[in-house]
Amino acid sequence: MNKLDEKLQQLYQQSKTEQPMPEQLRQQLLQLKPEQRKTNWKSLWPAVQGLAASVALIWLAQQIWWQPAYYQIVLQSDVNYHQVQLHSLAKNETSPQQTAYQQRYQQYQQARHQLEQSKSLVGQLSFSGQHWQVEVCDQLLVKIDQQLALELQKDLPWHAGQWVELKTGQQGQILAIISGKAALQCNS
């Protein structure tokens, strides 16, 4: 505090001791304080009830209409490749419904386990009009449907011709697609 602030503080304390608040006014102010608190809670109660009802309706709607998706790999044949895989997300209509929190936690645990056991493939990205594709020499062509591609591109957008590294899980599912550092040398 500077000297001016100190002086003002002293003058305030001196004025306060010389002219105290009348006792009747002090009592009236003390009585008003608890009543205001009660009034505020009573006036907020309908809003709290409305909020609770809204949250319950949103949760119920989510449980009824939201269906979880599962990862799907379909093997296809092509004369130019040893193997062609189509990766996609499909609706799981037969699984029991879980809360969003339980499902996210389960997905987190699965992703963590899969990442620990992941494998890598290097290939070149292209877009065929319907699917993104990663060509790993003439040995493998990995096709990725639009919905899964959107999920995988959340952090980094892709472009055709880009060299990428596919991180795959134990069953072959794509966990992540990372920008590749160098082009793959294919044996012809």
| Joined tokens for residue 186 | 């294919």
Instruction: Write down the pLDDT at residue 97.
Output: 54
Non-local CB neighbours of 127 within 8 Å, separated by 6+ positions = 133, 160
Chunked into runs of 10 residues, the chain (188 residues) has average pLDDT values of: 83 83 83 60 72 74 62 78 79 58 76 66 85 82 85 80 81 79 67
Burial of residue 94, with CB atoms counted within 10 A of its CB: 0-12 exposed, 13-18 middle, 19 or more buried: exposed
Instruction: Write down the pLDDT at residue 188.
Output: 55
Order the strands of the 69-76 sheet from edge to edge: 69-76, 83-91, 140-144, 132-136, 119-127, 163-168, 174-179
Instruction: Write down the pLDDT at residue 35.
Output: 52
83-91 and 140-144 beta bridge pairing? parallel
Instruction: Write down the pLDDT at residue 42.
Output: 66
Answer whether 89's CB lies under 8 Å from 72's CB. Answer: yes
Instruction: Write down the pLDDT at residue 33.
Output: 62
Map residue 44 onto helix, strand or coil.
Answer: helix
Answer whether 158's CB lies under 8 Å from 100's CB. Answer: no
| Joined tokens for residue 84 | 């062609």
Map residue 142 onto helix, strand or coil.
Answer: strand
Domain ranges of the chain: 3-64, 70-179
Please give the Cα distance from 180 to 165 (Å, whole number). 5
Dihedral sign for Cα atoms in the order 171, 176, 177, 179? negative
Q: Which letter does DSSP use for residue 87 in this model?
A: E
Instruction: Write down the pLDDT at residue 88.
Output: 81
Secondary-structure breakdown of the chain: helix, strand, coil percentages, each rounded to the nearest 5: 45, 25, 30
Please give the Cα distance from 89 to 101 (Å, whole number). 20
